[in-house]
Structure 1
Amino acid sequence: MRYDPSLPAARLLLTPEDKEAPARTRHLRRLGLGEHPDPALDAYADRLAELSGASYSMVNFIDEERQFFAGLHVPADGPPVVRADGSRPEWGRLLPRDHGFCPHVVVRRKALALEDVRDYPRFAGNPVVDEFGVRSYLGAPLVDGTGMTLGTVCVADVRPRAWGQPGLETIKSAAAELVARLERRRADGLPL
């Protein structure tokens, strides 16, 4: 059953409560993550987009108020959505916490595959669906050695995608690899 925007869905669209957000925010600040774009994380997002064939790819750190894409890959020509005035939205480094699907991944602490977001009433009304044309999503949490979920690594596309088990394994491996890199950087002061 597809999402019907005429049905009441206010409670379905709520971003889940994130009780770890204050501790995560402090932890991210101590690690120096989530405040500045990182060229190495941009390159990581570029590789993940190429590997998955997805339009968007992000390394996303989530604090109490917002999401910050320290690593970001967007289509060269921008989102496929054209507004009534002929302009296109711009996908920047910041996104409100109630946009997108990554906050759900962080709270669940599990990977999430949405092959067609319109098939899920809970997700179909999310602002990124209409604003940026997102139709599919695949993300995994970045859980560090302390057990803290820092954010996500994810890909999203403007068309439905059958991610399947191979997609889930790929995104979980990408998350584990990135956490290992972040842990090494923290321990040794090495660049990504």
Structure 2
Amino acid sequence: MSYDPPRPAGRLLLTPEDKDAPARVRRLRRLGLGEHAEPAFDAFANRLAEVAAVPYAMVNFIDENRQFFAGLHTPDGSGASILPPAADTGDGTVPEGGRYMARDYGFCPYVVVRRRALVLEDVCDYPRFAGNPVVDEIGVRSYLGAPLIDHTGIALGTICVVDVEPRPWGKAGLETIKTLAAELVERIERREASGGF
């Protein structure tokens, strides 16, 4: 993965087509991921936030229609201040304390489809990303995320850090998020091998 900031495209970000979603969903189900919050993922999100000195950090698994923050760090610990309206769950409830988010919100779906880290020091510099609902509804101004690609080659989701102010992530930030993503994938694979996290 290289430092490859997106270029201004002069249009809004459209949620990218995700041809790997069915295989990802099958893999996530086999791993038992993407439907329940886990203390280990929350602890990892807390570590991400501490390392990056940001108010928000997530471990995010993505299916065909929505994102699930299995690990979530927010300033108040509730998640309520970062998450927009949840994706439709079919029964009118918001499961897991609002940890679901529609797939067309945020930048993680782009990272998963692209299979590369994404550095947005100021999302407003990129019209393609500045039009995303998280910018106006939540106040997201900077984003740094990396895909979680396991040994099968499937991008299971992402880890990311977010700030409400522009951040000069630079190459150091990129290398850090990629290293932490690789560490979490290794932990997930050890969990699979041993039957526990």
**TM-score above 0.5, yes or no:** yes
Residues 58, 154 of structure 1: 8 Å contact kept: yes
Q: Distance in 1 between matches of 2:194 and 2:37?
A: 21
Residues 44, 71 of structure 1: 8 Å contact kept: yes
- 1:185 is the counterpart of 2:178: no
Q: How many Å apart are 1:41 and its aligned residue?
A: 0.3
1:68 corresponding residue in structure 2:
68
Q: Distance in 1 between matches of 2:117 and 2:111?
A: 6
Greater C-alpha Rg = 1
Runs of 4+ in 1 over 6 A off after TM superposition: none
Residues 113, 138 of structure 1: 8 Å contact kept: yes
Which of 106, 127, 138 pairs up with 2:112? 106
Note the 1:39-54 alignment, pairs <5 A: 39-54=39-54
1:117 corresponding residue in structure 2:
123
Q: Distance in 2 between matches of 1:156 and 1:92?
A: 18
1:13 corresponding residue in structure 2:
13
Q: Distance in 1 between matches of 2:42 and 2:81?
A: 18
2:116 alignment partner, SS class? coil
Note the 1:130-141 alignment, pairs <5 A: 130-141=136-147
Q: Distance in 2 between matches of 1:23 and 1:124?
A: 30
Q: Distance in 1 between matches of 2:122 and 2:81?
A: 17
Number of equivalenced pairs: 172
**Aligned-pair Cα RMSD in Å:** 1.6
1:142 alignment partner, SS class? strand
Residues 79, 133 of structure 1: 8 Å contact kept: no
Which consecutive unaligned segments of at least 5 residues does structure 1 have? 1-7, 81-90
- 1:164 is the counterpart of 2:167: no
Could you tell me the percent identity over the aligned residues? 70
Q: How many Å apart are 1:76 and its aligned residue?
A: 1.2
Cα deviation, 1:101-135, whole Å, max 9, x if unaligned, reads 00000011000000000000110010111111110
